[in-house]
A and B are shown apart, each in its own frame.
Chain A
Amino acid sequence: MKIRWTNIWLVFGMVFILSACEKDHIVKDGMKPIYYSFDDFSELRSGAPLPYGELGKIVTSGDYIFINEVGKGIHVIDNKNPNNPIQLHFWHIIGNSEFTILQNYLYADNGKHLLVIDISDFANISLEDVIRNQYQPELLELYPEGFSGYFECYDSSKGILKGWEKSELINPYCKTNN
């Protein structure tokens, strides 16, 4: 009998402690970031031209103009006739903002690593080498646009922001202003 009572008190005690724990947790519906790993190069490719969004760094080489689309890759333009430049390709390099060209190689960052890309065939580029950890991922305070409420803070060390998805958040720290 004695033992049973002890057990009951123990159970009571545990329930009390657990409920106390639960009170500390705030669970909210919100958004959480979807990450694209800095070590995933599977989407690196040459594709059809894309419209301009937010343009960045520029390089010219021979008859071509190369313009960075911030965070996404590089617009390739045939400029043999400056009166009529032609959009040729878009090179998808997720996380890219810095680059230069030497002969048949493109050196481009992805926010963390320096990528060496063979561009001998503009229509079919390929990753040649990765020089790791040349950049410290920037501490960006990114938030889900067009959304109001709680979200899981974006952590640039985890990867490149790919998008946001709905999620149950435990103790969310970040919240939109609006």
Chain B
Amino acid sequence: MKSTFYFLLITLFLLSACSKDDVASNGESSTNSGSYATMLTISNFLYVVNKTQITTFNVSNPGQPVEVNKQEVGFDIESLYHHQGLLLIGSANNMYIYRIGTDGIPLRESTTQYNETFGEDMCTSDPIVVKGNIAYVTLSSTVEVCRGFLLINELRVYDIQDFKSPKLLKTVNMSTPKGLGLGKNHLFVCDQTDGLVVYNLDNPIDPVKVKTFGGFEGFDLIVNDNILVVVAKDELLQYDITDESDIKYLSKIEL
């Protein structure tokens, strides 16, 4: 009886040690990236997109990455996002979805053209985030960059449950949407004109604008638990999003 008790005690001790280790290793890999990221580390791999390709490096030894794969993707690639074993790549014309194979190498599952009518003649900047089966994409184009192209500025909602064939569910007009990120029940979108726009996601396929924080040229953001970190053109702003319906401005570093 006594030995069983000790056994339980030791087991408990060991288990608690285990969970501590887990926390520590999570702490090490607590790197978060803005939605315009083009490099991500996932388990032992580093994925890097340049304008046209995705390259996979083995980083079991982080100081000496070893290239294991390189694939052509498309043109004008701008962003790389990871969601549950999928890599979503945003380019000026298309959203590409890759599935990470057991060997760590991405395999293409689908290509979704943003504009079927105008084909490849798109000029946008378009990061992607995913919640559940829903992908949110911002498309933006400005006159300065896209002279002669069709100007599009919108937030798009895609159903990617079948990631081999994403479906466009909704389009929301915006001024000049840039980077975006997800809270518990809200979508935060940086806007070069409007600053930071907050959408309620009670119905995930129908984002409803609830608040705008202006006065800066929003570029990208990161949600770190209860803190929202926003990068504007030449300043860094932070908000407390513990209560997403009552977001509080915290601080700013500027020029």
Give the interface of A toward B (CB within 8 A): 51-62, 65, 67, 77, 79, 82-85, 87, 98-105, 107, 114, 116, 118, 128-129, 131, 134-136, 138
Tell whether, in the assembled complex, residue A135 and residue B50 are in contact, meaning their CB atoms are under 8 Å apart.
Answer: yes
Residue of A nearest to B31 (CB): A61
Q: Which residues of A contact B221 (CB under 8 A)?
A: 58
Complex: A83 Cα to B39 Cα, angstroms: 29
* Chain A residue contacts of B240, Cβ below 8 A: 82
Q: Which residues of B contact A83 (CB under 8 A)?
A: 250-251
| Stretch of B8-16, B152-160, B206-214, B226-234 contacting A (4+ beta carbons < 8 Å) | B226-234
Q: Is the CB of A61 within 8 A of B48?
A: no
Q: Say whether A100 contacts B253, CB under 8 Å.
A: no
Instruction: Check A101/B31 contact, CB under 8 A, given A58-B231, A85-B251.
Output: yes
Query: Residue on A with the closest CB to B233?
Result: A55
Per-residue 0/1 for B46-75: is the Cβ within 8 Å of any A Cβ (1 yes, 0 no)? 101011100101010011110100000000
Which one of B52, B57, B233 contacts A54 once the chains associate, using CB atoms below 8 Å? Answer: B233
Taking a contact as CB atoms under 8 Å apart, the answer to whether A128 and B63 are in contact is yes
- Known A53-B234, A82-B238: A100·B63 in contact at CB below 8 Å: no
B40 touches A105 (CB 8 A): no
Contact among B32, B67, B251 for A84, CB-based, below 8 A: B251
Pairwise interchain contact A102-B222, C-beta atoms closer than 8 A? no
Q: Which residue of A lies closest to B63 (CB)?
A: A128
10 extra interface residue pairs, beta carbon distance < 8 Å, beyond A55-B219, A65-B236, A134-B48: A57-B34, A59-B31, A59-B32, A59-B37, A61-B32, A85-B238, A103-B29, A105-B62, A107-B46, A128-B64
Q: Which residues of A contact B31 (CB under 8 A)?
A: 59-61, 100-102
Count contacts between A and B, CB distance < 8 Å: 123
Question: By the criterion CB–CB under 8 Å, are A67 and B236 in contact?
Answer: yes
B101 within 8 A of A: no
Interface of B is mostly: strand
Task: State the B residues within 8 Å of A (CB).
Answer: 27-34, 36-41, 46, 48, 50-52, 55, 57, 59, 62-65, 67, 219-222, 224, 227, 229, 231-236, 238, 240, 250-251, 253-255
Contact A103–B50 (Cβ < 8 Å): no
User: Which chain A residues lie closer than 8 Å to B253 at the CB level?
Assistant: 52, 77, 85, 87
A58 partner residues in chain B, CB cutoff 8 A: 33-34, 220-222, 229, 231
Question: Nearest A residue to B44 by beta-carbon distance?
Answer: A102
16 residue pairs from A and B, CB less than 8 Å apart: A56-B36, A56-B219, A57-B33, A57-B34, A57-B220, A58-B220, A58-B229, A61-B30, A62-B30, A79-B229, A82-B251, A100-B39, A102-B31, A102-B62, A107-B65, A136-B52
Residue from the set B28, B30, B48 with the largest chain A CB neighbour count within 10 Å: B48
Question: CB < 8 Å: which of A98, A118, A135 contacts B63?
Answer: A118
Residues A59 and B63 in contact, CB atoms below 8 Å apart? no
User: Please, which residue of chain A has its CB at the minimum distance from the CB of B38?
Assistant: A98
Closest A residue to B222 using CB positions: A60
Q: How far is the CB of B219 from chain A (nearest CB, A)?
A: 7
CB distance from B246 to the nearest CB of A (A): 16
For the complex, what is the distance from the CA of A15 to the CA of B134, rounded to whole Å? 76
State the CA gap A118–B63 with chains docked (Å): 7
Whether the Cβ atoms of A107 and B39 lie closer than 8 Å is yes
Note all chain A residues with C-beta closer than 8 A to B33: 57-59, 100
Q: Identify the 4 closest CB pairs spanning chains A and B, nearest first.
A: A100-B39, A58-B34, A61-B31, A52-B234
Which chain A residue has the least Cβ–Cβ distance from B223? A60
Contacts of B227 in A (CB 8 A): 79, 82
Is A136 a contact of B51 with CB atoms below 8 Å?
yes
